[in-house]
Amino acid sequence: MAVERCMAKKKFMDFLQRKKLRVTAQRRAIIDSAFDTEEHFSAEQLLQWSRRRDKSVSRATVYRTLPLLTESGLVRTMDFGGDHKFYDPNYADHPNHSHIICQECNTIVEFDSDQIKRLEGEMCRKLGFSVKTHRLQITGSCDQLKRLGACARKKAC
Amino acid sequence: MAVERCMAKKKFMDFLQRKKLRVTAQRRAIIDSAFDTEEHFSAEQLLQWSRRRDKSVSRATVYRTLPLLTESGLVRTMDFGGDHKFYDPNYADHPNHSHIICQECNTIVEFDSDQIKRLEGEMCRKLGFSVKTHRLQITGSCDQLKRLGACARKKAC
DNA sequence: ATCAATGCAAATAATTTGCAAAAAG
DNA sequence: CTTTTTGCAAATTATTTGCATTGAT
């Protein structure tokens, strides 16, 4: 919380400007909510957070803003196969990061690996492609889980 | 088409038996449809294929069987961010494969890389996890796209 | 002033469920 | 026989849309 990634916000404002879209109070509340956290969030969560800043934000506006966020490349849709979609606001800072998800407690760790990125590039070149984006999700069990048969954070999220 | 992966079917039958679930005509039609193709499919597509084999298959039964297929590990949910979910029946043969998706024509190429798998293992170990499953999706542009500015298969799928 | 953006409530689309009837083991 | 599975149609859920109004530029 309270990370204040002005960088991402500023980039998104530029994106709006480039597309000649307007900066409304509601959009500001949504943008602030999305980029003041490093957590992944659902549409519903984003709505709640945004309403805390501006009561007037409607669900429709959140749903209309989400595609703008993803189109800008600063937020990406994360699908962990659960019930609803999640959105990850950390792509401004770490444009290529990957995820490890603990099977048991659903804790998500983000990491970067240039080596993996390099291998992906090589594989793709061999197959006649060049890489634009990649999305790597690893499901795993953490040491605690292996040692104790359960994870302290079990079902925390 | 017509790949006849008896292996996967047999494994799924074993899975049903282990869970003491029954082999019905409808399930057989669905299983045959899912494993006689190497294509990714949607729930709707699976319903159509299954009905071709057995008119009596209902949409509800398809939706009730899909979780069994994924639970068995022989089929996995693929989310390419589009409108509906897709399912990939190639996990019996290639339990760790990855995907490259052409930005323009949505052609999907599957590939395996032991090197990437090894690096993933290393990264995870460093972070205190061991890998259970991985899911790697690369979006790219193909050589044709780069050379000609468009891909012959444009929007084929 | 002009036109994009909003809230609302109704519409859509995918998936899920209750239930009585049919079929597997 | 017992218990699971089925089809149907109704229910649920997330998301999208039409429209009159508001607000940014």
Domain that holds residue A41: 2-88
Does A137 contact B140 at a Cβ distance shorter than 8 Å?
Answer: no
Asked if residue B93 is part of any domain, the answer here is: no
- Return the pLDDT at A109: 92
Q: Are residues A40 and A9 in the same domain?
A: yes
Q: Are residues A146 and A118 in the same domain?
A: yes
**Token pair for B13:** 């039958």
Q: What is the pTM of this model?
A: 0.89
* Of A23, A12, A25, A24, nearest in space to A54 by CA: A25
For an interface test with A, the pick among B84, B97, B129 (most A C-beta atoms closer than 10 Å) comes out as: B129
Q: Are residues B107 and B83 in the same domain?
A: no
Residues in A whose CB is inside 8 Å of some CB of B read: 77, 79, 81, 100, 102-103, 109, 111, 113, 115-116, 119-120, 123-124, 127-143, 146
Q: How many other β-carbons are positioned within 10 Å of the β-carbon of residue B8? A: 23
Any strand C atom closer than 7 Å to B2 CB: no
Q: Are residues B44 and B70 in the same domain?
A: yes
Dist. CA B69–CA B16, nearest whole Å: 10
For residue A15, give Cα distances in angstroms to A11, A57, A72: 6, 21, 6
CATH code for the domain of A12: 1.10.10.10
Any strand C atom closer than 7 Å to B13 CB: no
What is the tens place of the pLDDT at every residue in A3-58?
567 789 999 999 999 999 999 999 999 999 999 999 999 999 999 999 999 999 99
Query: Who's near A30: CB < 8 A, 6+ residues apart?
Result: A46, A50, A57, A61, A62, A65
Q: Are residues A25 and A51 in the same domain?
A: yes
- Return the pLDDT at A59: 98
- Rounded to an integer, the average pLDDT of A69-98 is 91
Looking at the structure of chain B, the number of domains it has is 2
Any strand C atom closer than 7 Å to A61 CB: yes
Helix, strand, coil abundance in chain A, percent, nearest 5: 45, 20, 40
Q: For the purposes of burial, counting CB atoms within 10 Å of the CB of A149, is it exposed (0-12), middle (13-18) or buried (19 or more)?
A: exposed
Say which DSSP state A79 is in: -
Percent of chain A with pLDDT over 70: 92
Residue A157 has pLDDT above 50, yes or no: no
Point out the nucleotide closest to A61 (alpha carbon to C1′).
C6
- Return the pLDDT at B37: 95
Q: Mean pLDDT of residues grouped by 10 in chain B (157 residues)?
A: 75 96 98 96 97 98 98 92 87 94 86 96 93 94 75 53
Between vectors from CA A126 to CA B42 and to CA B111, what angle results, nearest 5°?
35
Q: How many other β-carbons are positioned within 10 Å of the β-carbon of residue A128? A: 16
- Return the pLDDT at B153: 58
- Return the pLDDT at A25: 98
* Of A149, A141, A147, nearest in space to A105 by CA: A141
Straight-line distance from the first to the last Cα atom of chain B, in angstroms, rounded to the nearest whole number: 16
Higher-pLDDT residue of A103 and B117 is B117
Q: Are residues A119 and A84 in the same domain?
A: no
- Return the pLDDT at B104: 79
Positions of chain D reached by protein Cβ under 7 A: 4-9, 13-18, 23-25
Helix, strand, coil abundance in chain B, percent, nearest 5: 45, 20, 40
* Of A73, A51, A53, nearest in space to A62 by CA: A51
Dist. CA B155–CA B79, nearest whole Å: 18
CATH code for the domain of B114: 3.30.1490.190
Phi, psi of B108 (to 5 degrees): -115, 125
From the CA of A5, how many Å to the nearest CA of chain B? Answer: 25
From the CA of B65, how many Å to the nearest CA of chain A? Answer: 16
Asked if residue A93 is part of any domain, the answer here is: no
Distance B17 CA to C20 C1' (A): 27
- State the nearest residue by CA to the C1' of C17: B60
- Return the pLDDT at B81: 74
Distance B60 CA to D12 C1' (A): 14
- Return the pLDDT at B157: 37
Burial B123-139 (b: 16+ CB within 10 A, else e): bbeeebbebeebbbbbb
Asked if residue B29 is part of any domain, the answer here is: yes
Say which DSSP state B85 is in: -
Dist. CA B108–CA B52, nearest whole Å: 26
Q: Are residues B84 and B104 in the same domain?
A: no
Dist. CA A74–CA A59, nearest whole Å: 21
For residue A79, list chain B residues with Cβ-Cβ distance below 8 A: 79, 81
